[in-house]
Structure 1
Amino acid sequence: MADEASTPPPPAYPTSACTCGALVIWTVTTSGKRMPVDSTPADDGNIKLTHRGTSLPPLAVVTTNPAQLFGVRHRYRSHFANCPHAASHRRGRR
C-alpha cells in the first residue's frame, strides 16, 4: 500500500463553479451532508478527501485538530470559509 503522504489526489474529482466563480469539489461529510471544498489544496486546510470510486463523491473528513492530518499531503478547506456568497448558500440546521 502506498504511503498516504506521497499519494497524489485522484485526478478526476469533478469540480463545478460556485456563484462566486470559484471551482469547488462537491463532497459528502462523515455525517452525510454535502459540502463544497475549494478545488485547490491548501497547506493550512483541515479537510482530508477520501476517494470512494467513480460514482460517489469524495468523503470529506473534517478535523479541528491539525495534528490529525500530519503527513497528509493534500489538505483542503471548506469553500464556505472564503466564499463571498457563503451566507446565501447556507441552510438552517436540520
Structure 2
Amino acid sequence: MRVTEKGQVTIPKDIRDRLGITPGSDVEFVVADEGVMLVKVGDARDAFQSFDDWAKSVEGRFDLNGLSVDEHMDWLRGPRDDLDRH
C-alpha cells in the first residue's frame, strides 16, 4: 500500500467490508510500539469496555486448586524440558 503525496491511503475493500467502514465512517489510527492500527471509531473502545466488564465479572473466580502458577502451567502444557528450574 502506497501513501499518496497528500498522505492518503486506500483501505482495501475486504478490510472495509470486515470493519463495516462505509463512506462517512469515522476511523482512527491507534499508535503502539509495534506499529499502527486502523480502527473504526467506537469499535475499539466498545471492545475494550466489554473485555473490562467481563474481566471484572470473573475476577477472583479462577481456582488453581493449590497449585503455584508454574505448577499450573506445567499441568496445562506439560513439563518443559527446555527450562532449567533449579
Please identify the structure whose Cα radius of gyration is greater: 2
Same fold (TM over 0.5): no
Tell me: higher relative CO, structure 1 or 2? Use CA pairs within 8 A at least 6 residues apart: 1
Which category of TM-score, normalised to the shorter sequence, fits these structures? under 0.3
TM-score by length of 1: 0.24
**Which structure features the higher share of strand residues?**
1
TM-score by length of 2: 0.25
